């Protein structure tokens, strides 16, 4: 698998001088078309900074100590990059930065990452995806928010806590604990053979099973049912386990970082 170009640049932020005249040292990670900046949490006399070498000139105590810290910092960045390469999955400069700073596993949580993915999806509405696609993602988010406290006794979890059995646990929760199994195709099909279908049940079944589960956009379903608002359609078109897991599988494919952790 061919990798994108990777580069780390250290530079001096001369516009951020402190009271003693020291300037903060910053870093910039470039990987392919992505970029992430970070603070080295170091500063120095601007007169000592060698922009070409990204180091301090001379052999003063300040130069030797600071250059040593910069060397260790760069080693950590390159180590994070190699670790991500070994996982053979897509990643960005931000992922390198987060892993380098020790936050990818310990600070970035499952729902935070999901929300970031959702924000990216919203930006693609009208470009690569339809607005109706966001409906299932919102519903999935709600069920995850209920499932995680139930399963892990916490409002959210780190990626490191997501194991191989996460999806099977989620499936068990949705089909059993949450009660959504009543909306599954087999259950409704079984009941429809035994009891007369009212107009309401018929609309619900049509909206949920015949259309949404087969990929028909909710806007189209709304027009087919003669609704004046998509919100009205949403009351009929509940997301079934099948639809929910189809969308969640798409989330797993979309979020490469999550796939690494599973």
Q: What is the pLDDT of residues 179-205, one digit of tens each?
A: 654 443 233 223 223 333 333 333 444
pLDDT of residue 6: 95
The residue ranking higher by pLDDT, 257 or 135, is 135
Nearest-angstrom CA–CA distance, 14 and 16: 5
Cβ–Cβ < 8 Å for 236, 208: yes
Instruction: Report pLDDT digits (tens) over 34-71.
Output: 999 999 989 999 999 999 999 999 999 999 999 999 99
Name the nearest CA neighbour of 238 among 167, 168, 174: 174
Cβ–Cβ < 8 Å for 166, 249: no
pLDDT bracket for residue 28 (50, 70, 90): very high
The residue ranking higher by pLDDT, 193 or 2, is 2
């Amino acid at each position: 698998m061919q990798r994108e170009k990777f580069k780390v640049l250290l530079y001096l932020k001369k516009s951020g001088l402190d009271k003693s005249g020291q300037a903060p040292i910053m870093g910039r990670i470039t990987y392919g078309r992505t970029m992430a900046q970070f603070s080295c949490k170091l500063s120095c006399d601007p007169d000592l900074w060698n922009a070409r070498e990204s180091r301090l000139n001379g052999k003063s105590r300040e130069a030797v100590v600071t250059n040593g810290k910069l060397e260790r910092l760069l080693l950590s960045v390159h180590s994070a990059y190699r670790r991500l390469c070994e996982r053979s999955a897509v990643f960005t400069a931000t992922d390198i930065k987060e892993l380098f700073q020790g936050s990818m596993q310990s600070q970035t949580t499952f729902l935070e990452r999901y929300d970031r993915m959702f924000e990216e999806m919203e930006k693609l509405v009208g470009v690569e995806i339809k607005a109706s696609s966001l409906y299932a993602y919102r519903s999935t988010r709600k069920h995850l928010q209920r499932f995680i406290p139930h399963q892990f006794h916490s409002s959210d979890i780190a990626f490191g806590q997501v194991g191989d059995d996460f999806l099977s646990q989620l499936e068990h929760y949705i089909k059993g604990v949450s009660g959504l199994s009543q909306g599954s195709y087999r259950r409704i099909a079984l009941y429809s053979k035994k009891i007369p279908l009212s107009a309401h049940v018929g609309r619900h079944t049509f909206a949920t099973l015949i259309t949404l589960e087969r990929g028909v956009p909710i806007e189209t379903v709304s027009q087919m049912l003669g609704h004046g608002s998509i919100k009205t359609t949403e009351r009929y078109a509940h997301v079934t386990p099948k639809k929910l897991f189809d969308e969640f599988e798409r989330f797993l494919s979309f979020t490469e970082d999550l796939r690494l952790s599973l």
